[in-house]
């Protein structure tokens, strides 16, 4: 069952931090979004659904390449912001709606491409969300899941998740590559491609996106500093010109749904 309390926490967090999140360089990474559109194989006749679309930047990138794109998100502030941005840019072949990723408000087999970027670590039931994405994709259609990766070493993964939750309490868990692979196998999804990458952050900019209070921010800095020796959080924390930086390992999975 969907946890209403968690959905409420997500809405409250991203309503409070909507401006900071939408302003992050990584959130607005146009080159990265164009790459995801290209990876998906979406074309001029494609119908694309963006799950947990946030402020809608990726949805709009798909709209530029597809016949029609739609974004679904649980946070009204993001949906309103995405609609305004589409209107300002004069993009007519896109729509946005409120919805729960655990029960997508879309019919079966309705979309050629179903995508989800930078959100799986917020899901209490990633298996259920993936099943919903597969349900609304047409047979032989494409799913694209892009997210940060957790460590395969449990002690490092636990420290990573602790740091993430101090910054953003809606973070649940960064899934390791092996768990993503298991989930895809359970849904009988064929992995077509899975390019990996990294996203590098200035810690102070990253803290701004989550908006922790001063005490939590101090604990985060302390944990990150302590993790440098031995890379105990698997985040490659280091100081560059006096500023603390770290990186997320990432992956983009291009998946094919079973043919009818």
Mean pLDDT of 56-72: 97
156 within domain boundaries: no
55 within domain boundaries: yes
Query: What does the alpha-carbon distance between residue 151 and residue 121 come to, in Å, rounded to a whole number?
Result: 13
Bigger pLDDT: 81 vs 3: 81
The CATH number of the domain holding residue 45 is 3.40.50.150
Report how far Cα 165 is from the mean position of its chain's Cα atoms.
15
pLDDT digits (tens, 9 = 90+) for 233-260: 999 999 999 999 999 999 999 999 999 7
| Domain with 175 in it | 4-151+171-200+249-256
227 within domain boundaries: no
Selection from 39, 188, 183 nearest residue 123 by Cα: 183
- Whether 220 shows a pLDDT value over 60: the answer reads yes
The mean of the pLDDT values for the chain is 93
Among 27-31, 43-47, 67-71, 99-103, name the one with the lowest average pLDDT: 27-31
116 within domain boundaries: yes
Contacts of 214 (CB under 8 A, 6+ apart): none
34 within domain boundaries: yes
pTM: 0.93
Query: What does the alpha-carbon distance between residue 2 and residue 95 come to, in Å, rounded to a whole number?
Result: 25
pLDDT digits (tens, 9 = 90+) for 106-117: 999 999 999 999
Q: Where do we find the tokens 């298996």?
A: 127
Give the three-class secondary structure for 116. Answer: strand
31 within domain boundaries: yes
User: So what's the pLDDT on residue 47?
Assistant: 98
| Token pair for 128 | 């259920």
133 within domain boundaries: yes
For 163, counting Cβ atoms within 10 Å of its Cβ (0-12 exposed, 13-18 middle, 19+ buried), the class is buried
Instruction: Count other Cβ atoms within 10 Å, centred on residue 178.
Output: 11
User: So what's the pLDDT on residue 2?
Assistant: 62
The tally of domains found in the chain comes to: 1
159 within domain boundaries: no
User: So what's the pLDDT on residue 20?
Assistant: 65
Q: What are phi and psi of 139, to 5 degrees?
A: -55, 130
Identify whether the C-beta of residue 74 lies closer than 8 Å to the C-beta of residue 98.
yes
- Which H or E run includes 38? helix 30-40
Bigger pLDDT: 50 vs 10: 50
30 pLDDT band, cuts 50/70/90, is confident
202 pLDDT band, cuts 50/70/90, is very high
């Amino acid at each position: 069952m969907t946890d209403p309390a968690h959905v409420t926490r997500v809405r409250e967090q991203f309503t409070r931090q909507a401006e900071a999140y939408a302003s992050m360089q990584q959130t607005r990474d146009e080159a990265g979004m164009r790459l995801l559109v290209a990876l998906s194989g979406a074309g001029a006749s494609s119908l694309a659904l963006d799950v947990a679309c946030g402020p809608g930047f990726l949805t709009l990138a798909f709209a530029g390449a597809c016949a029609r794109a739609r974004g679904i998100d649980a946070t009204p502030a993001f949906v309103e912001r995405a609609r305004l941005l589409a209107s300002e840019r004069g993009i007519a072949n896109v729509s946005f709606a409120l919805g729960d990723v655990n029960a997508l408000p879309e019919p079966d087999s309705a979309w050629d491409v179903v995508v989800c970027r930078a959100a799986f670590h917020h899901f209490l039931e990633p298996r259920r969300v993936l099943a919903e994405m597969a349900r609304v994709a047409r047979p032989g259609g494409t799913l694209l899941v892009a997210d940060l990766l957790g460590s395969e070493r449990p002690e490092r993964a636990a420290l990573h998740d602790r740091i993430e939750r101090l910054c953003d309490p809606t973070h649940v868990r960064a899934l390791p590559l092996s768990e993503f692979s298991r989930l895809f196998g359970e849904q009988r999804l064929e992995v077509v491609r899975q390019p990996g990458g990294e996203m590098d952050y200035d810690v102070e900019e990253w803290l701004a996106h989550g908006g922790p209070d001063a005490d939590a921010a101090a604990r985060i800095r302390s944990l990150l500093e302590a993790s440098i020796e031995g890379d105990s959080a698997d985040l490659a924390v280091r100081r560059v010109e006096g500023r603390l930086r770290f990186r997320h390992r990432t992956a983009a999975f291009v998946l094919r749904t079973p043919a009818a």
